[in-house]
Structures are given as C-alpha cells and as structure tokens.
Amino acid sequence: MNQTDATRGRFITFEGIDGAGKSTHIGYVTSLLKGAGKRVVSTREPGGTPLGEKLRDLVLHEKMHLETEALIMFASRREHVAQVVEPAIARGDWVLSDRFTDASFAYQGGGRGLDRAKLDALEQWVHPHLQPDLTLLFDVPLDVARARLSATRALDKFEMEQADFFARVRGEYLRRAAESNGRIVVIDSTQTIDEVRAALQAALESWL
Ligand SMILES: Nc1ncnc2c1ncn2[C@@H]1O[C@H](COP(=O)(O)OP(=O)(O)OP(=O)(O)O)[C@@H](O)[C@H]1O
Ligand SMILES: [Mg+2]
C-alpha cells in the first residue's frame, strides 16, 4: 500500500476459538474508535461480501476435504480483501474483521493438520501486501468457551469438533501470538466482560 500512514485507515482483526468473545467485543471496540473520531467498517470471515457469505454457509455446514475447506476460506478472503478491506483502508476507514488469516493457520493448520507451507502459499497469493495492524486474540480454555456457546445457539461444523481439535487451534493461535512481534495481543477472555473491555482499551490506547 503506497499511502502515507496519516491518510490510510487501519486493519484490526479479532481471533480466538469459538465462543471466546470475538463478536461480543467488536461492538465495544467500534464505540471506542468512533469515540476517537474514526470511521469504522465492521466485517467478518468467512464472509464479508455477498459471495463470501454463500461460501461461509458451505464451509460451515458441508463436509469436505480439508484442502477444499482451506481453499474456500481463501477464496472468500480474496473477495473480501478486494471488495471490502483494501478499499476501506484506502479511504481512511478502520476495518474490524471478526477472523482473518490467523484463523486459517489455527483451524486448518493447527486444528486439521494442513501443512503450514500450503497456508503460507495461499496467504502470499491472496494478500501478499496486507497484514492486520493489530490482532486481538481472545484466549479462553475450551470448557469456558463451550459453556458460553452451548447456552446460546446450535453449533456449526467446527463447533462440534472434539476438545483435542480446539486444544490444537488454541495452541496454534498462542504460538503465532508469541512469534508475532506484538501484532497479536492476547486478551484473557476468562475475565468478566467489563475486565475484557478494560484490557481492550489498554491494547488500543496508543491508537485512540
Ligand atoms: N467475558 C465474558 N464473560 C461471560 N460471557 C461472555 C464473555 N464474553 C463473551 N461471553 C458470552 O459468550 C458467548 C460467546 O461469545 P461470542 O459470541 O462473542 O464468541 P465468538 O468468539 O464470537 O464465538 P464464535 O467464534 O462462535 O462466533 C456469548 O453468549 C457471550 O455473551
Ligand atoms: Mg462470533
């Protein structure tokens, strides 16, 4: 992106296992940023475009080969980056995305065991020059996330996976956070919603 930092928007992604609290806190981060005078675009993956939402429905509910799953995730992402994320950042908006490429590494890579080199290649193909400016990783043990989720709604294909799958997903997220040079900030999501909000405010302080 050949834009100066002053006119360019920012890209913030929300990550974590199912039920960790991503969707709950996007609204709060939106209000913090709007309070600081930013224009905010809130979006999600898989999805974020009309075609992407159709792909989301397929990938969350149909059984398929794990590489098909990864390819659909990145096909949805290609559309999302081109139609939503890059135009918004270019016009100076702040984009908040409920999941992005870290989720592919965590679920298809960590969870399902897809070779990381294949995910690296897809990332290079689909967004070679774009990375989140900040990623908020909502970290919570599986049993806490599961208890929160089952109270709310029917589970999708991923949410019905076993505990060891989520342990691998969570482990891969934390491994990436440790290697991210500060891009990925781990938020302890076992805390109360008010405590999580305080942690988010602290994580965003230098941006507000
Ligand atoms: N810190 C918290 N304390 C108590 N309950 C919480 C907390 N954070 C979220 N919840 C509740 O947990 C449930 C799951 O949260 P949420 O839908 O935000 O998770 P998510 O990360 O978006 O999950 P998914 O990946 O399945 O979309 C919701 O009912 C939400 O109200
Ligand atoms: Mg959610």
**Are 65 and 132 in contact, with CB atoms under 8 Å apart?**
no
Q: Which ligand minimizes its atom distance to the CA of 169?
A: 1
Share of the chain above pLDDT 70, in %: 98
3 pLDDT above the threshold of 70:
no
Q: How many CB atoms lie within 10 A of CB 100?
A: 26
Tens-digit pLDDT profile for residues 122-139: 999 999 999 999 999 999
Burial class (CB in 10 A: 0-12, 13-18, 19+), 149: middle
The mean of the pLDDT values for the chain is 94
Which of 94, 102, 97 is closest to 123 using CA atoms? 102
* pLDDT computed for residue 108 by the predictor: 98
4 pLDDT above the threshold of 80:
no
Residue linked to tokens 């139609």: 83
**Are 137 and 185 in contact, with CB atoms under 8 Å apart?**
yes
Secondary structure (3-state) at 26: helix
Tens-digit pLDDT profile for residues 24-39: 999 999 999 999 999 9
Ligand 2 centroid distance, CA of 7 (Å): 30
Q: Which residues line ligand 1 (CB under 6 A)?
A: 16, 18-24, 138, 148-149, 152, 189, 191-193, 196
DSSP string, 97-149: EE--HHHHIIIIIIIT---HHHHHHHHHHH-TT---SEEEEEE--HHHHHHHH
Which of 49, 137, 28, 43 is closest to 94 using CA atoms? 43
Q: Does residue 191 or residue 5 have the better pLDDT?
A: 191
pLDDT band of residue 5 (cuts 50, 70, 90) is: confident
Tens-digit pLDDT profile for residues 39-89: 999 999 999 999 999 999 999 999 999 999 999 999 999 999 999 999 999
Tens-digit pLDDT profile for residues 164-183: 999 999 999 999 999 999 99
DSSP string, 144-161: HHHHHHHTTS---TTTTS
Ligand 2 centroid distance, CA of 22 (Å): 5
**Ligand 1 test: best mutation among 17, 23, 28, 165, most atoms within 8 Å of CB?**
23
Q: Which stretch of 18-22, 88-92, 150-154, 190-194 has the lowest confidence by average pLDDT?
A: 150-154
7 pLDDT above the threshold of 60:
yes
Ligand 1 centroid distance, CA of 114 (Å): 27
Ligand 1 centroid distance, CA of 144 (Å): 10
